[in-house]
Structure 1
Amino acid sequence: MSVHPDLSAFLELAEFGRLTGKSQPLHALPLAQGRGDFERTSQILDPNPPGDITVRTVQLPTRDGSVLEGRLYRLAASADQVLPTILYFHGGGYVVGSLDSHDSVCRRLALSGEFAVLAPAYRLAPEFPFPTAVHDALDSVSALKAQAGQLHLDPQRLVVAGDSAGATLAAVLAITAANHPADIALKPVAQLLFYPVTDMSTERTSHRTYAEGYLLESETLEWFYQHYANAAARQDWRASPLLAPLAAAQAPAYISLAQYDPLFDEGMAYAEALASGETVVALGVERGLSHDFLRMGGIVASVDDIYRRALQWAVTTAG
């Protein structure tokens, strides 16, 4: 399938901006400007996210004495219900992205009222390189467990989730629960992985095929990785989950990939690796779409159906 017509128009505008010098890819920008530009894309990709959602700021302590900000999203009508939780980690290559850039994603995940969504503001590189984000993710699980009662959350029905690098963090939590259960406070019952980074250590065909022109560029990926992880760290399964020994079955995984994405091949490889290790895997490929499609609710009509399918699976799996 060719690029989705709704997305195609946006990509053409992006390419025009690049050719005329009005915009540049993230890897060509100073860090602060790149972060700002990424934040501003949210207002373009999904300017009118669902409004009937209550958002509560929470504090999530970490092992080194810092406190992460988090946001708890739930449908307004479910404010007093004890709900299962989607622990959601935003994308952005561990370098850009924030609670604000993925606010629309969390609102859409909470809209059905079936789950509360807790989004931690894990710390970013290069200020906080690997493995800080991993530690922050693990500490967020501990904080969720400790605060579940006061937040009206069911800690026994935890779904770990994320997109891009955030999906990698969710995958690491699921691996930890399966292979190193003493290292995580709660065992997830499911994982939602949208276009995850699964192997920083090597280049695959999709990195070359979709290197440029589909929002996420392969050079930008390398720019992210250089900020986050040195060569040795890229071989660590906590940065590259595909390199983990996947002997123990993990929580069932819903893996959603974009057809036009440099990360496509490693996403497919990860789904195959999980399935070979007897993890139940539901794999979907969003034809015609590119990386970051979860944030495109305002420009691609079919994104609503992506959320619907993922949440339907999560409801069935989480019980």
Structure 2
Amino acid sequence: MSLDPDLAAFLELVEANVMSGSKPSMHELTPAQARVEYDASTQILDVPGMAVESVTSISIPCRDGQHIHARFYKPIKLAEEKGPLPVLLYFHGGGYCVGGLDSHDSLCRSLAALTPCCVLNVAYRLAPEYRFPTAVYDAQDAYQWMLSAGTEYNWDITRIAVGGDSAGGTLATGLCLASRDSSWPQPVYQVLLYPCTSAWQNTESHRRFAQGYLLEATTLQWMFTHYLRDAADRKDWRFAPLEASNLSGLAPSFLILAEYDPLIDEGIAYADRLKAADVSTLVRIYPGMTHDFARLGSIVNEAYQVRKDIANALANEFYPNRNNC
């Protein structure tokens, strides 16, 4: 399928602004400047979040004595749900350098409302102030904290899913690997939106979509240069899950990919590896879409559709006996 026309028009506008010099590319900015631009663009590109019962700010302790922030979305509870609610632990995208609680507020609200389930959106620490593997440790610490805090927040810790987009998807699936290897309770499900999975960005899709499709090759390497300490980190499975020697024993997965995303080839490769390891894996490629389309609610209808699709997949896992799921 050709690129979605509304998305194509948006990308043409972005390219025109870059060419005119009125709006620099992300890789031309400092990380601090890029974070401001990224969050500001969210107000234009995405729609307001759906209604939930409450939103609570949470501080999560980390292994190095510091704390990270998180935002807890409590859904409007279904009448038939009397006990603790299932919860999605979510890690935002942004190449480990940008993004946070505000940039993914609409997405997390929607998933909480549509599933319905609790959602905990984690603001792991960003590079270059905090390089690899700090974000990995923050994700693990958030999961461990969630397991211990379930009673306080009325979470059903036997029904925890993990999810994330782009770099956040890498953190989510890496958490499943760490849980398996550390004998922690395995999440019941993993939702991976166009995750980064490869040590090197040398696939055909990276060449084909290197420029002009929202996530550009120069921007991706700018992010990874800020995040990684050295070249050896690229071969660490916590950065590149395709480097893991064994993917068996992981939670069932839902991989969401975009047809015009440079990451699509490595996403397909990761899905194939999961299937080969007998991990139940659903793959859905959204035609005409680019990277990050789930946050483009003001531009493409598929942003709402993918949220519904994720919510349906989560509901099927969280509420297997409900007739309408």
TM-score grouping bracket, smaller chain normalisation: over 0.9
Cα gap change, 1:189 to 1:298, in 2 (>3 Å): same
Structure 1 counterpart of 2:199? 200
Q: 161, 177, 180: which one pairs with 2:179?
A: 177
Deviations 1:112-160 (A, max 9, x none): 2521000111001111101100000000011111111111111111101
Deviations 1:219-245 (A, max 9, x none): 111111111112111100001001102
Structure 1 counterpart of 2:284? 284
Gaps of at least 5 residues in structure 2 are: 321-325
Q: Give the AA of the match of 2:186.
A: K
Structure 2 counterpart of 1:58? 58
Structure 1 counterpart of 2:237? 237
CA distance in 2, matches of 1:68, 1:282: 32
Asked whether the 8 Å contact 1:88–1:160 carries over to 2, the reply is yes
The CA RMSD over aligned residues, in Å, is 1.6
Gaps of at least 5 residues in structure 1 are: none
Cα gap change, 1:81 to 1:8, in 2 (>3 Å): farther
CA distance in 2, matches of 1:174, 1:52: 28
3-state SS of the aligned residue for 1:8?
Answer: helix
Deviations 1:36-56 (A, max 9, x none): 111111111114222445211
Structure 2 counterpart of 1:258? 258
Deviations 1:249-273 (A, max 9, x none): 3110000001111111111100001
CA distance in 1, matches of 2:182, 2:317: 20
3-state SS of the aligned residue for 2:289?
Answer: strand
Q: Which moved more, 1:118-127 or 1:107-116?
A: 107-116
Structure 2 counterpart of 1:271? 271
Q: 94, 106, 118: which one pairs with 2:108?
A: 106
CA distance in 2, matches of 1:253, 1:52: 26
Q: Which moved more, 1:71-80 or 1:199-208?
A: 71-80
CA distance in 2, matches of 1:250, 1:289: 28
Q: Which moved more, 1:169-178 or 1:116-125?
A: 169-178
Question: What is the deviation of 1:280?
Answer: 0.6
CA distance in 1, matches of 2:59, 2:32: 25
CA distance in 2, matches of 1:305, 1:122: 27
The percentage of counterpart residues that share the same residue type is 42
CA distance in 2, matches of 1:13, 1:85: 38
Asked whether the 8 Å contact 2:128–2:227 carries over to 1, the reply is yes
CA distance in 2, matches of 1:177, 1:145: 12
Question: What is the deviation of 1:6?
Answer: 2.1
CA distance in 1, matches of 2:120, 2:247: 29
Cα gap change, 1:77 to 1:154, in 2 (>3 Å): closer
Q: 80, 95, 106: which one pairs with 2:97?
A: 95
Deviations 1:179-208 (A, max 9, x none): x033x4x32010000000001334211111
Cα gap change, 1:80 to 1:55, in 2 (>3 Å): farther
Structure 2 counterpart of 1:144? 146
Asked whether the 8 Å contact 1:47–1:298 carries over to 2, the reply is yes
Structure 1 counterpart of 2:323? none
Structure 2 counterpart of 1:212? 211
Structure 2 counterpart of 1:17? 17
CA distance in 2, matches of 1:298, 1:144: 33
TM-score by length of 1: 0.95
Question: What is the deviation of 1:73?
Answer: 0.6
CA distance in 2, matches of 1:295, 1:54: 21
Q: Which moved more, 1:48-57 or 1:105-114?
A: 48-57
Structure 1 counterpart of 2:189? 190
Question: What is the deviation of 1:77?
Answer: 4.4
Q: Give the AA of the match of 2:187.
A: P
Q: Verify: 1:85 aligned to 2:54, yes or no.
A: no
Asked whether the 8 Å contact 2:261–2:290 carries over to 1, the reply is yes
Cα gap change, 1:247 to 1:33, in 2 (>3 Å): closer
Structure 2 counterpart of 1:74? 74
Q: Give the AA of the match of 1:137.
A: A
Cα gap change, 1:313 to 1:225, in 2 (>3 Å): same
Asked whether the 8 Å contact 2:258–2:289 carries over to 1, the reply is yes
3-state SS of the aligned residue for 1:288?
Answer: coil
Q: How many residues align?
A: 316
